[in-house]
Structure 1
Amino acid sequence: MELGQLFLFVVLLVVGSHGFEEDLEANDAVSNQTATAYSAGVRMGIINPEKYSLRTFEQHERDIFKDTYREYLSLNGNQTISYQNWLLMNNYGILFDTQESMFQRKISKRSTADNKRRFVNTVRKGDILITGRGSGGLLGHAAIMTTDTWVLEMPGGKGWQNGIPDNNRQITKHKWFDIHASDWTTVYRCPDAGIASQAARWADRKYYNPNEGSTKTIHITYALTTNFQTTNPSYCSKLVLQAYYYGTGSNKVIRNPGNAIIVPTSIPTYFLRPYWLTNKGKF
C-alpha cells in the first residue's frame, strides 16, 4: 500500500467505535478524552510512544490542538467533524516518514547559527518546507523554494476566517529560518531536479509574477477552500501541491487531491513513484 493510500485509509477509520478497548492506563491528571485520543493514535501506528509521549501530547492538546480545532469549526460550520477525526485529518501533527511531531521543542546541541548555516546550504529550488506554525484551523505550515534563495508561501494570520487579502509573499531562506528559529523546519525534496524546477517555476508564475520577475504582481487571498483547481483564494499546502500537479506537464508526479482540504503533514503522501519525496533533514 502506497503512502497516499495509507493516509486515506487512516483518515477513513472510525475512532472510538463500539468495542474500542483502551490499552493505556492514563494518569489521573490526564482526561479520559485525551488518553483515548492518544491511545487511538498509538493503535493506528500514527504515534510512536517512544518519540511522542502522552504528556507531550497532552501539552500540545492544551496549547495548540483544541484552539486550532475550534478555529477549524468556526470556518467550516456547515461541515461538522469530530475532534478525533480532525486529529486524524491532521495526522496528529506528526510527520508520516519520521513519526516526529512538528511541535517538538527545538532542543539541539547545534547552535542556532550552525543550524541556520546548514539550512541555507541545504535548501534548493523546488524543495518543500514544512513546519509546525500553522493557520486556518490546520496543523502546520508549508512553503516551496522557487529558487535556491527565495521561499514562496501563504503565511495566513489573524482574520483568516474572513479571508486575508494579498497574503502570498516571497521571503529569503535566511528570513524564513529567522522566523522559524524556535521551531523545526523539515525539508523535503523531489528526487528529480527537473520536475522540482518545473514546479518551482509554475508556483512563481502563478503566485508571484507571471514573468518570474522580482516585483510581486499577483495578489492572492488566504482562505481554506476545497476547490483544488483555483489559485485564488488559496492557502499554503494547496499552493505547494498545485505546483507539483499542474506545473510538471504530463508527468504523473502526484495523485489527484480531489476536492479536499490539504493538510501540510499529508503533502508527501500525495507523491507517486518515482517521485517520492526524500527527507533532507530538520533544521
Structure 2
Amino acid sequence: MKKINCLCVSFIAMLIFLISMNGNFANAQENNSTSTSGDDSYEELIDEGIIDPSVSKEQWNQFKAEDKYYAEQQEKEEIDNPGNVSDDGNGEMLRSSKAKFSLRKGDFFYTNATDSKGLTGHNAIYVGNGKIVEAPAKGHKTRAQSFTTWKKNTLYGPKGPKKGKWIKVYRPSSKANGNKAANYAMKNFEKKHIPYKINGNIKSKKYEYCSKLVWQSYYFGAGKKSMASVNTPVILHPSNLPGTIKGTKKVHTYKK
C-alpha cells in the first residue's frame, strides 16, 4: 500500500513539473515574440534610413497599429461609396459612372495600390498641366511626373493588392486653397528634390514622405485656416490625410 502511495505522489509531482515547464516555455515563446518582432522592425527601418531617429519606437508601433485601422476605413468607404461618383465642377455630385470628370489643381490622391514594410497607401497632389507631385519612397527625392503615367504604373504595377486596386481623388471645398497648395508643391517639391524619410516633425522641411508633402502643401501654401484641425500629427497616415484638410470630399475613383 505504501509503495502504491509513493508511486501516486511521484506521478503527481512529475505531472505538476511538466505542466509548469510547459507553461514557462509557452510564456518564454510569447515574451520572445513580443520583444523581438517590433524591435527588429523598428531597428531595421532606422538602419535602412526609412525612419529618422526623431521617431521613437513607441511612436512607430502606435503608428503601425493606427495605420491598419485607417486603411480599413478607406476600404470600407470605397465599398459604401463606390467610385462612380464625380463632381460636375460646381460642387454637384453626379452618380453616373459615365459622368465626365476633370482633375483640378490641388486635388490629391490616396491609393491602396502600393505597400512598403507592412504599411499600405500612398498620396500625391495634382498641380495642373497633367502633372502630379509626390514623395515616392526611400532612395527617391520629391518629384513631378505625368499623371497619366503615374496612374498607369500605380494601378497596373506589381505593388499592392492583386485585385481591387484604386486611386481615390479628394478635393477641398476651396478652389483658391487648392491652387495655393498646388503652387506651393510645384515651387518647393518639384524643383528642390527633397530626400525621403519619415521623421517626427511634420513641419520640418529637411525630409519628406508622401502624406507629409501634401499636408505641407496646404499648411504652408494655403495657410493654417485651410486645415481641418489645429492639432498637428507626429506622423501622418496616408489613409488619414483627407481628414486633415478642411472641406475635403472624395470626388472620383480611378479603378483598374
Same fold (TM over 0.5): yes
3-state SS in 1 of match to 2:193: coil
Measure, in 1, the Cα distance between the counterparts of 2:101 and 2:239. Answer: 24
Tell me, in whole angstroms, the C-alpha distance in 1 between the residues paired with 2:236 and 2:99: 25
Give yes or no for contact 1:120–1:173 (8 Å, CA) kept in 2: no
Match of 1:99, SS state, is helix
Whether the aligned pair in 1 keeps the contact of 2:177 and 2:226 (CA below 8 Å) is: no
Distance in 2, Cα, partners of 1:119 & 1:223: 39
Which residue, out of 145, 157, 160, partners 2:126? 145
Query: Aligned letter for 1:280?
Result: H
Say if 2:107 is the partner of 1:127: yes
Distance 2:99 2:110 in 1: 13
Aligned to 1:86: 64
Is residue 2:194 matched to residue 1:185? no
Q: Distance in 2 between matches of 1:251 and 1:258?
A: 13
SS at match of 1:152: strand
Bigger relative contact order, structure 1 or 2 (CA pairs below 8 A, ≥6 apart) = 2
**Highest CA radius of gyration, 1 or 2?**
2
1:245 to 216, 219, 229: 219
Q: Verify the 8 A CA contact 1:130 1:264 in the aligned structure 2.
A: yes
Q: Secondary structure at the match of 1:125?
A: coil
- Which residue identity lines up with residue 179 of structure 2 in the other structure? S
Q: 2:206, 2:215 → 1: CA distance? A: 14
Which of 41, 45, 49 is matched with 1:75 structurally? 45
Q: 5+ unaligned residues in a row in structure 1: which ranges?
A: 1-66, 102-117, 210-217
- For 1:171, give the aligned amino acid: Q
Q: 2:248 aligns with which of 273, 276, 280?
A: 276
Q: How far did 1:85 drift? A: 6.8
> Which letter maps to 2:130?
T
Q: Residues 172 and 178 of structure 2 are in contact (CA less than 8 Å); yes or no, is this contact kept in structure 1?
A: yes
Total equivalences in the alignment: 184
CA contact (8 A) 1:149 1:172 kept: yes
Flag the 1:250–1:266 CA change in 2: closer, same or farther, 3 A. Answer: closer
TM-score of the two chains, using structure 1 as the length reference: 0.55
Tell me how far apart the structure 2 counterparts of residues 228 and 266 of structure 1 sit (CA, whole Å).
Answer: 14
Q: Give the drift of 1:268.
A: 1.3
The whole-number CA distance in structure 2 between the counterparts of 1:268 and 1:281 is 14
Q: Given the superposition, is the C-alpha separation of residues 227 and 179 from structure 1 closer, same or farther in structure 2, using an over 3 Å criterion?
A: same
CA distance in 1 between partners of 2:121 and 2:42 (Å): 13
| Larger helix share, 1 or 2 | 2
Counterpart-to-counterpart distance in 2, 1:261 and 1:82: 8
Which of residues 145, 154, 171 in structure 1 aligns to 2:145? 171
Task: Letter of the 2:107 partner, please give it.
Answer: D
2:182 aligned partner, one-letter code:
A
CA contact (8 A) 2:218 2:226 kept: no
Larger % of strand: which?
Answer: 2
Cα 1:97–1:135 shift into 2, 3 Å = closer
Is 1:222 equivalent to 2:187 in the alignment? Answer: no
| CA–CA distance in structure 2, aligned partners of residues 82 and 262 of structure 1 | 11
**What SS does the corresponding residue of 1:207 show, helix, strand or coil?**
helix
Taking the aligned partners of 1:181 and 1:152, their CA distance within structure 2 comes to 17
